Structure 1
Amino acid sequence: MLMLSWPACVAAALAGVLLDQWLGEPRRWHPLVGFGRLAAALERRLNRFHANPSTAIVRRLSGLLAWSLMVLVPAALAWWLVAAASHWHAALGLVLHALALYAALGARSLHQHIAPIAEALARGDLGAARTLTARIVSRDTADADAEALARAACESALENGNDAIFGALFWFLVGGAPAVIAFRLANTLDAMWGYRTHRLRDFGWAAARLDDLLNLAPARLTALSYALLGATTQALRCWRTQAPAWSSPNAGPVMAAGAGAVGVALGGPACYHGEIEFRPPLGAGVAPDAARIMACLRLVRRTLWLWLALAVASALALTIIPPLSAT
């Protein structure tokens, strides 16, 4: 990892996670808000050929250029800032690493957005549950029943556990601040540009494919962690048999293993833009409800502490073993 020993890397990771648990998302001046506005403006500037079917390759190259400007340039800037800070004082570099991870994580916000849906469903307030669910998913919720809302919340908790927590933590442990910033920005661009609409199908191709690539390893580690911390045999079976049916190479394993781990049946029909989309089944067991939403959130939280415990144990081992071997 950039300019950090493994024990220092783990210490920075712990600091970043604790900051997220303590502070949560910034309520004002969130850096991703400004990033999103800049990305939208750049897309309007570079994606000028969406009405011309003969320029697909131009649109893809434009999208790749836009992705590079929005991801690689900030990552390079982060590398330079951390290098300069570490040269001035090692502790300052450590602080910048931890702050970068804090900015990329969304563990507390994930719970804050999804737990209220479970609470609304538990007290039978369908209107509040629909409003809260609409804030975190792209599917239509205006006429959704309690089971459909609970299904959306469970799927969002499991999938975003990887996107908002474990993918960021994985890349931080691999490459520190530059890597975690690159991952988070790439994930944000996929959420903005990675749609198969007429306008974005080609321009957003690079954003979607590169996000898939960056998530290949963390998604599978997340799925394995979900399985180990729940109904292991069932989770692994769901992963093996159900994930290949999903179009996303990463969401499928994560959600199938997570649903199997907590014993809930997900997938099935969902309404998008007024049309019903029938999706492959996920998991096994009971229909989703408020209790299963909270079970999914607990699974995500246990996975986070498992990853941190393994990182700390490995750092301690590296700290203790060299002195022992020297004797």
Structure 2
Amino acid sequence: MSTAGILVGALLLDAIFGEPRWLWQRVPHPAVVMGKVIGRADQDYNEGINRKAKGVIVVIGLVLAAWLLGSLISLFGWVPQMLLAAILLAQRSLVQHVQAVGDALRLSLGDGRVMVSRIVSRDTKDMDTSAVARSAIESGAENLSDGVIAPAFWFLIGGLPGLLIYKIVNTADSMIGYKTERYKDFGWAAARLDDVLNWVPARLTALLIAVTHAGLTQWRAIRADAGLHRSPNAGWPEAAMSRALDISVAGPRSYDGVMQEFPYVNPKGRKTLTADDVDACCRALWLTWAAGLAIVVMLAIF
């Protein structure tokens, strides 16, 4: 079976079954295993001098290990490749987490704050309804790229080894790729490589969102809005989603009690948001996923 054919099966399996809790209550999820490996490397090597060099060596080691493991598993045929790829895609679970915020908001603002705190790292205790909805939508757009389009893209490019390399680097970035005193040197390589690996997928995600909604007539605006974001990649899917829903995203938010004055993306969009906007985001996530699936199906056929 072709790589594209395997990916079609993986995308469908993930969309139908999502994350089976009964399985991950019995065995560790591969992402959890990756996190433990990275955490151990952080504990053992993120100290003393030459932390940047140590971080580079750790990332090289993680990439080589992911490539070797992916190559080994691939020797056993398309079935384990499809199953592992389905496990490492996150479309259904992403929509479920975002939708849970909208459902909670309909119960109360407090419930919405609790649910959104599970998917974002910013302070949530003082958020109003619009901030809760906006945070969920931003998370949905960014993670559509990181958790679905990028893994699928790298599976198409490099098979299972490509997917595992992307996932280990992306996990490392989420754990050590911070510009804090502890991680600014040790996590430098992980953060930079993650930026490189997400460069094309982030823009592809934005393109898919745009094509399935307002079309490419707003592409120049999306490109300009993406430049307002502090991230070189996350701004693209967020900018496209903001245009698709005609809302503003990003903007000021608080981290660890300190308000950060980030600019709005699509600043002329609507800023008063509700649970209905979260619902609209979830529909957009599925529509964009369907467009991506259609492309992979065509690649598998032709």
Bucket of the pairwise TM-score, normalised by the shorter protein: over 0.9
1:190 corresponds, among 160, 173, 182, to: 173
User: Which consecutive aligned stretches of 4+ in structure 1 deviate over 4 angstroms post-superposition?
Assistant: none
How much does 1:146 deviate?
0.8
Structure 2 CA distance for aligned equivalents of residues 99 and 302 of structure 1:
23
The residue number in structure 1 matching 2:31 is 32
Query: What aligned pairs does 1:284-323 form with structure 2 within 5 A after superposition?
Result: 284-287=268-271, 288-316=273-301, 318=302
How much does 1:234 deviate?
6.5
Structure 2 CA distance for aligned equivalents of residues 136 and 46 of structure 1:
29
The residue number in structure 2 matching 1:168 is 151
Matched to 1:45, the amino acid is D
253-262 vs 132-141, which moves further: 253-262
Total equivalences in the alignment: 295
Matched to 1:47, the amino acid is N
97-106 vs 151-160, which moves further: 97-106
Structure 2 CA distance for aligned equivalents of residues 26 and 240 of structure 1:
37
How much does 1:119 deviate?
1.1
**Contact 2:10–2:86 at 8 Å: present in 1 too?**
yes
TM-score, length basis structure 1: 0.86
The residue number in structure 2 matching 1:12 is 6
SS of equivalent to 1:255: helix
Query: What aligned pairs does 1:1-327 form with structure 2 within 5 A after superposition?
Result: 8-27=2-21, 28=24, 29-49=28-48, 55=49, 58-83=50-75, 85=76, 93-123=77-107, 125-232=108-215, 235-283=218-266, 284-287=268-271, 288-316=273-301, 318=302
Runs of at least 5 residues in structure 2 that lack an aligned partner in the other structure: none
Matched to 1:281, the amino acid is Y
Structure 1 CA distance for aligned equivalents of residues 217 and 113 of structure 2:
31
* CA 311–192 in structure 1, closer or farther in 2 if over 3 Å, else same: same
Structure 2 CA distance for aligned equivalents of residues 238 and 134 of structure 1:
30
- Residues 270-293 of structure 1, C-alpha deviation per residue, up to 9 Å, x if partnerless? 111001111121134322321111
**Contact 2:173–2:190 at 8 Å: present in 1 too?**
yes
SS of equivalent to 1:276: strand
Runs of at least 5 residues in structure 1 that lack an aligned partner in the other structure: 50-54, 86-92, 319-327
Structure 2 CA distance for aligned equivalents of residues 106 and 153 of structure 1:
16
Higher Cα radius of gyration: 1
Cα RMSD after superposing both structures: 1.6
Structure 2 CA distance for aligned equivalents of residues 169 and 146 of structure 1:
33
Identity %: 38
Matched to 2:291, the amino acid is L
- Residues 6-48 of structure 1, C-alpha deviation per residue, up to 9 Å, x if partnerless? xx22221121112212321243221211221221111110011
| Structure with larger RCO (C-alpha < 8 A, sep 6+) | 2
TM-score, length basis structure 2: 0.93
How much does 1:315 deviate?
2.9
**Contact 1:162–1:222 at 8 Å: present in 2 too?**
yes
